């Protein structure tokens, strides 16, 4: 399969979508990102890399980062994590307070904001310097020591993070957040502010396409844990549009409001795409279409 030709063709086809949708203006630092940016990268299981657009340009990965904190939590906390967070699609907004109250402080899954707060809190109980642990982890996975937190984005997250504070304090009131709220949110805001390129991302998530092993062959998680992370991406990874994304893409994916989406075809390859303008569910408009075209043209799907 000539993946380079496939993604070059896709980049041209999705170009008209750049003018549609909206950037995540509720985070001021993201509002300034040019909406005409587009990048796509594919990394095969045998190490072949294909890129198009500005695939080496870092951007704010936002909720894609929840893959990495979940992976670290599974490594350090293990199955105990599932006593505090569920594994079901939410069917509600990623920052819903109503659902969290109705379900007595147990988030539906690790990829909604409240679930990510619990995952972060769990990790911090085992690794108090969780920010440093996370940064070292993504640098190791991506093979890029220049990966860093975008402090401007982190400050913007904190300045506009009242809904996240509400979720965290409610979790605290229900006994499902054990650490200091401000400390947990500081780690959370920084993880969302990780700046990575599509090339960084396809390398960093390659372990999910390789049975738990990274690009260097080292074991990141067990094959069973990789399977479970992929399953959660498939059912919960694209906000409250997971059913629609499963229907259109047919592969596990995780999106972020920075306009990035990562996806994997287990045993085959990892994919990353970036286009800042979002649809009404918070997923990249051109990014979703690019992945839909990719799976359609290559025939790669988990179904």
268 assigned to active site: no
Token reading at 294: 């990719």
Residue 236: CB atoms within 10 A of its CB come to 25
Catalytic hit among 188, 197, 221, 265:
188
Measured distance CA(106)–CA(99) in Å, rounded: 9
The one catalytic residue among 66, 172, 254, 268: 66
Do the beta carbons of residue 199 and residue 139 sit within 8 Å? no
Q: Can 188 be counted among the known catalytic residues?
A: yes
Catalytic residue among 118, 257, 264, 265, which?
257
Element (H, E) at 276: none
Catalytic status, residue 102: no
Q: Tell me which residue of 194, 97, 217, 176 sits closest to 136, measured CA to CA.
A: 194
Structure tokens at 99: 């659902």
CB 216 within 8 A of CB 48: no
The CA-atom distances, in angstroms, between 45 and each of 178, 196, 225 are: 39, 21, 18
In sequence order, which residues have a C-beta less than 8 Å from that of residue 87 and are 6 or more positions away? 109, 110, 232, 235, 236
65 φ, ψ to 5°?
Answer: -60, -20
Q: Name the catalytic one among 156, 172, 239, 288.
A: 239
257 is catalytic: yes
Show which residues are catalytic: 63, 66, 188, 239, 257
């Amino acid at each position: 399969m000539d993946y380079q030709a496939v993604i070059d063709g896709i980049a041209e086809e999705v170009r008209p979508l750049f003018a549609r949708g909206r950037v995540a203006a509720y985070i001021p630092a993201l509002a300034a990102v040019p909406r005409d940016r587009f990048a796509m990268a594919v990394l095969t299981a045998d190490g072949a890399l294909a890129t198009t657009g500005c695939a080496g340009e870092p951007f704010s990965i936002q909720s894609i980062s929840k893959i990495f904190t979940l992976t670290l939590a599974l490594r350090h906390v293990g199955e105990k994590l599932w006593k505090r967070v569920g594994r079901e699609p939410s069917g509600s907004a990623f920052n819903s307070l109503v659902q969290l109250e109705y379900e007595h402080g147990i988030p539906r899954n690790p990829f909604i904001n409240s679930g990510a707060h619990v995952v972060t809190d769990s990790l911090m109980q085992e690794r108090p310097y969780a920010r440093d642990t996370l940064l070292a982890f993504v640098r190791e996975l991506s093979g890029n020591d220049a990966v860093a937190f975008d402090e401007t984005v982190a400050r913007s997250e904190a300045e506009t993070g009242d809904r996240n504070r509400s979720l965290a304090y409610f979790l605290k009131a229900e006994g499902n957040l054990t650490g200091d709220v401000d400390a947990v949110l500081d780690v959370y805001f920084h993880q969302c502010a990780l700046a990575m390129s599509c090339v960084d991302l396809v390398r960093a998530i390659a372990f999910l396409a390789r049975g738990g092993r990274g690009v260097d062959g080292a074991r990141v998680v067990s094959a069973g844990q990789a399977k479970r992370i992929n399953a959660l991406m498939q059912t919960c990874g694209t906000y409250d549009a997971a059913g629609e994304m499963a229907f259109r893409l047919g592969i596990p994916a995780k999106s972020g409001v920075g306009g990035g989406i990562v996806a994997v075809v287990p045993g085959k390859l990892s994919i990353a795409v970036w286009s800042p303008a979002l649809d009404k569910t918070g997923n990249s408009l051109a990014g979703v279409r690019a992945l839909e075209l990719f799976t359609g043209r290559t025939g790669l799907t988990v179904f």
